[in-house]
């Protein structure tokens, strides 16, 4: 079985690649290394350094390898920042995805697995249910929903089977903890290990359900071997919601540090996000069950080794109006 994993040098993608290799797949990883790291790439995989926005390369890659399956995880995932990088967001997250879908249709791929996001729900009724109408509130969520819709059309028109997964707030080893704009667990982990106060937007009573990578990646990889998942949309993640204040307390505790926080001006974001996972349990027969502090404990030893890495300069800001002051000051 020949399988393409986009974003395979990244956080979730590298774990999914390992699961697929262990299951006997021949894996090709496509990643431009804008967010991923070369050390995350399994040695048994074939690596192609390129971007999904290069449609000619996508076509030639599919012609060369004749992929059976595609796992599309490549994306710039930053809900809050996406308001300020609209062109970058839509180019990478929509146009790049369309390039892959086109190539998958032309190559008669057996199944296209797409990692979407619960960002598509916006501030809808909680817990988010796959049957409710998505109303995203940021360009990132809009982009994810657009690709979901395009996959549905491609299935109806061309017969391309798909699985749409909506994982949420995934954390763990190999997470990008040096990106100042996204991944609150990683941001907190880096700050506390460097002896800095953790920065919280607003009052910190926003709630999220954080999902450990070791629970999520195996389910993503299993999607192609789960007939009931085909042509379905499935929420994927933990039921255990907590506030951002509680997260800060947990990160400080597992790092053996005193909790120190600085509250910044509130930013534009969904205040509470929690998903229903009944469909996940019905289809996969499993529930991600790693408790938050248990997952953070596994993450700390790895994070100590990378917390000193310098944040890369991100040069793609298009709109600075209404941008959080803490972000503007770092430009």
Angle at 123 between CA 237 and CA 208, to 5 degrees: 35
User: How far is residue 281's CA from residue 146's CA, in Å, rounded to a whole number?
Assistant: 26
User: How far is residue 314's CA from residue 310's CA, in Å, rounded to a whole number?
Assistant: 12
Who's near 255: CB < 8 A, 6+ residues apart? 189, 192, 193, 300
Residue environment code for 31-54, b if the CB has 16+ CB neighbours within 10 A, otherwise e: bbeebbbeebbbeebebbeebbbe
Per CATH, the homologous superfamily of domain 2-170+211-236 is NAD(P)-binding Rossmann-like Domain (3.40.50.720)
What residues does each domain of the chain span? 2-170+211-236, 177-209+240-271+291-328
Confirm whether 76 is a catalytic residue.
Answer: no
Match 């109408």 to its residue by tokens. 133
* pLDDT for position 185: 96
Asked if residue 34 lies in contact with residue 52, where contact means CB atoms within 8 angstroms, the answer is no
Residue 200 bridge partners (DSSP): 263
User: Could you write out the DSSP letters of every residue in 174-229?
Assistant: T---S-TTS-HHHHHHHHHHTTPPEEEETTS--EEE-EEHHHHHHHHHHGGG-GGG
User: How far is residue 161's CA from residue 18's CA, in Å, rounded to a whole number?
Assistant: 23
Q: What is the mean pLDDT of each run of 10 residues along the chain (331 residues)?
A: 97 98 98 93 97 97 98 90 92 97 98 97 90 94 97 98 97 91 91 95 95 97 98 96 97 96 90 93 87 97 81 81 77 52
Q: Which of 88, 140, 171, 181 is catalytic?
A: 140
Helix/strand/coil for 6: strand
* pLDDT for position 223: 98
Architecture of 177-209+240-271+291-328 per CATH?
A: Alpha-Beta Complex (3.90)
Look at the pTM and tell me if it is higher than 0.75.
Answer: yes
User: How far is residue 169's CA from residue 213's CA, in Å, rounded to a whole number?
Assistant: 10
Q: Is there a common fold for 2-170+211-236 and 177-209+240-271+291-328?
A: no
- Helix and strand numbers, DSSP H then E, in the chain: 11, 13
* pLDDT for position 123: 87
């Amino acid at each position: 079985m020949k399988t393409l994993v986009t974003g395979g040098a990244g956080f979730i993608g590298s774990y999914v690649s390992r699961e697929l290799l262990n299951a006997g797949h021949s894996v090709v990883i496509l990643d431009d290394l804008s967010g991923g790291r070369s050390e995350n790439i399994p040695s048994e995989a074939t690596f192609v350094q390129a971007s999904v926005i290069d449609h000619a390369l996508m076509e030639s890659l599919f012609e060369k390898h004749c992929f059976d399956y595609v796992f599309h995880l490549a994306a710039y995932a930053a809900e809050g920042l996406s308001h300020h990088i609209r062109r970058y967001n839509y180019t990478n997250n929509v146009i790049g995805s369309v390039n892959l879908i086109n190539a998958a249709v032309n190559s008669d791929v057996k199944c296209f697995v797409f990692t979407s996001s619960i960002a598509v729900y916006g501030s809808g009724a909680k817990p988010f249910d796959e049957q409710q109408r998505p109303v995203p509130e940021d360009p990132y969520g809009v982009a994810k929903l657009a690709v979901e819709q395009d996959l549905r059309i491609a299935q109806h028109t061309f017969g391309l089977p798909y699985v749409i997964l909506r994982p949420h707030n995934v954390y763990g080893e190999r997470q990008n903890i040096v990106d100042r704009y996204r991944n609150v667990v990683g941001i907190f982990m880096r700050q506390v290990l460097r002896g800095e106060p953790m920065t919280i937007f607003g009052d910190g009573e926003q709630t999220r359900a954080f999902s450990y990578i070791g629970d999520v990646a195996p389910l993503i990889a299993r999607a192609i071997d789960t007939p009931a998942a085909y042509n379905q949309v499935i929420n994927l993640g933990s039921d255990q919601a907590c506030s951002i204040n509680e997260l800060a307390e947990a990160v400080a505790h597992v790092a053996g540090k005193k909790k120190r926080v600085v509250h910044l001006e509130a930013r534009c974001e969904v205040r509470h996000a929690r998903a229903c996972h009944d469909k996940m349990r019905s289809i996969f027969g499993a529930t991600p069950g790693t408790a938050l502090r248990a997952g953070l404990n596994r993450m700390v030893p790895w994070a100590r080794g990378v917390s000193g890495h310098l944040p890369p300069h991100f040069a793609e800001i298009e709109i600075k109006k209404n941008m959080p002051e803490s972000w503007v000051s770092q430009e």
